[in-house]
């Protein structure tokens, strides 16, 4: 069994990005980061690999099963390759930047690695662009991050954007109030995750009625809020509902064109979130563009924080079709200043290295749209 490995074969879930995709992705990341920077989110750059202990504490614990680990031969401790950058940024905020004034706004872009992909997305290396707002529990902070994520995606021309708001703490609060624990709570959770109304009714016990109403409340923001307002919730859950109302109201004022839906029971992937959370979708695009929400930054009780992460591979899939750049072939020994001038005007110039008999043909062979001839770019 010594099969020769094909030189192009990569391990599952990893890939080469080729032209033009690699360029498109890099440009999209640059534009997203520019929007974040313009709102005062300063960039940080954590390392690829960290001590496992630090990487997987607090909000990072959710990524424990997704993290590649190895032993660091120098410190003889376990180290992990980041599977998500948010815990790293939270660590930076609560350690090295502990003395920086709050609210602290940080942004980041980089690659993360996961031991396996999901059933519908096999990618194991995922590009992330994100922003974290640390040190404020005001609803205006929630509004800011949702609006910022939407603005950043909007700046790329992504159409049909919608944001789904959720309260991951609502169901646990209800279960606790109705005394649903252990396996019973797991069964309720599984039924809610699949939006299986029949199973919710069967496993919900005393909470079945209110959970059923929560289930059917999901949908566009206005009717969903109205339905939520009808519910008789325990005090803790009622407080959550109130802050959700505030956030939706402020968000609608800030971004009237953004489609907002509410799903009060969405929980998957939000296990470590502690308040209003959200997922970003675009119509017709498979998968999520990004997600975010409230968590506690740092170990122990931590600081209130919220933020979001965008997944660059999905973001790129959602981009409108790109206009290919104008490319002009510059035959060897052409006037250098002309090429320079064309570049300043936004052209891409491709220099000939040796004389050719048919410059137009050569331009086409090198996938140029134009050729420099007589001092101007002529279409080929």
317 is an interface residue for another protein by CB under 8 A: yes
198 is an interface residue for another protein by CB under 8 A: yes
Show contacts with another protein in window 271-290 (CB under 8 A).
Answer: 279, 281-288
320 is an interface residue for another protein by CB under 8 A: yes
102 is an interface residue for another protein by CB under 8 A: no
What is the Cα–Cα distance from 1 to 376, expressed in whole angstroms? 60
Instruction: Name the 3-class secondary structure at 92.
Output: helix
**End-to-end CA gap in the chain:** 52
160 is an interface residue for another protein by CB under 8 A: yes
Nearest distance from C-beta of residue 198 to another protein, angstroms:
4
Nearest distance from C-beta of residue 195 to another protein, angstroms:
4
319 is an interface residue for another protein by CB under 8 A: yes
Got the DSSP string for 21-85? HHHHHHHHHHHHHHHHHHTT-EE----SEEEHHHHTSGGGGGGGGG--EEE-TTT-SEEEE-S-S
Contact pick of 219, 234, 355, 379 for another protein (by CB under 8 A): 219
Using CB atoms within 10 A of its CB, is residue 44 exposed (0-12), middle (13-18) or buried (19+)? middle
313 is an interface residue for another protein by CB under 8 A: no
183 is an interface residue for another protein by CB under 8 A: no
Nearest distance from C-beta of residue 260 to another protein, angstroms:
10
Q: Which stretch binds another protein (CB under 8 A): 106-114, 297-305, 314-322, 345-353?
A: 314-322
> How many helices (H) does the chain have, and how many strands (E)?
13, 16
The gap from C-alpha 253 to its chain's centroid, in whole angstroms, comes to: 24
Nearer to another protein, 93 or 319 (CB): 319
Question: 2-36 b/e with 16+ CB inside 10 Å = b?
Answer: eeeeeeeeeeebeeeeeeeeeeebeebbeebbebb
Nearer to another protein, 28 or 104 (CB): 28
Contact pick of 45, 268, 340, 378 for another protein (by CB under 8 A): 268
Secondary element (H or E) of residue 100: none
Nearer to another protein, 119 or 344 (CB): 119
Q: Tokens in use for 218?
A: 């999901």
What is the Cα–Cα distance from 221 to 213, expressed in whole angstroms? 15
43 is an interface residue for another protein by CB under 8 A: no
Count other C-beta atoms under 10 Å from residue 232's C-beta. Answer: 9
194 is an interface residue for another protein by CB under 8 A: yes
20 is an interface residue for another protein by CB under 8 A: no
Nearest distance from C-beta of residue 229 to another protein, angstroms:
18
CA distances from 151 to 147, 246, 311 (A): 6, 20, 15
The residues of the shown chain that bind another protein, judged by CB under 8 A, are 118-120, 159-160, 162, 164, 193-198, 215, 218-220, 259, 261, 263, 268, 279, 281-288, 317-321
């Amino acid at each position: 069994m010594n099969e020769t490995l094909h030189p192009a074969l990569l391990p599952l879930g990893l890939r080469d990005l080729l032209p033009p995709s690699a360029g498109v992705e890099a440009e999209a990341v640059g534009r997203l980061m520019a929007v974040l920077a313009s709102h005062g989110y300063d960039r940080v750059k954590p390392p690829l690999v960290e001590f496992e202990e630090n990487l997987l504490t607090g909000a990072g614990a959710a990524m424990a099963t997704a993290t590649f680990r190895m032993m660091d031969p120098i410190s003889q401790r376990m180290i992990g390759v980041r599977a998500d950058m948010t815990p790293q940024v939270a660590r930076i905020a609560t350690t090295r930047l502990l003395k920086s004034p709050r609210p602290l706004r940080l942004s980041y872009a980089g690659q993360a690695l996961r031991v396996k992909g999901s059933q519908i997305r096999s990618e194991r290396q995922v590009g992330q662009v994100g922003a974290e707002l640390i040190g404020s529990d005001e609803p205006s902070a929630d509004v800011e991050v949702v609006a910022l994520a939407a603005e950043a995606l909007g700046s790329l021309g992504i159409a049909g954007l919608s944001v789904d708001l959720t309260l991951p703490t609502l169901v646990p609060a209800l279960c606790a109030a109705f005394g649903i624990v252990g396996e019973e709570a797991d069964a309720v959770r599984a039924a809610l995750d699949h939006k299986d109304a029949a199973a919710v009714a069967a496993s919900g016990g005393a909470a079945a009625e209110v959970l059923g109403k929560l289930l059917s409340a999901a949908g566009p923001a206005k009717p969903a809020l109205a339905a939520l307002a009808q519910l008789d919730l325990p005090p803790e859950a009622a407080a959550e509902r109130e802050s959700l109302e505030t956030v939706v109201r402020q968000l609608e004022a800030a971004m009237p064109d953004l489609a907002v839906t509410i799903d009060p029971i969405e929980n998957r992937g939000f296990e470590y979130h502690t308040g209003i959370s959200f997922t970003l979708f675009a119509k017709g695009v498979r998968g999520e563009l990004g997600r975010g929400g409230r968590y506690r930054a740092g170990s122990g009780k931590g600081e209130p924080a919220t933020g979001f992460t965008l997944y660059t591979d999905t973001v790129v899939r959602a981009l409108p079709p790109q206009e290919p750049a104008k490319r002009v072939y510059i035959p060897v020994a052409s006037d250098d200043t002309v090429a320079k001038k064309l570049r300043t005007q936004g052209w891409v110039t491709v220099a000939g290295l040796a004389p050719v008999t048919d410059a137009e043909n050569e331009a086409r062979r090198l996938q140029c749209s134009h050729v420099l001839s007589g001092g101007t770019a002529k279409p080929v």
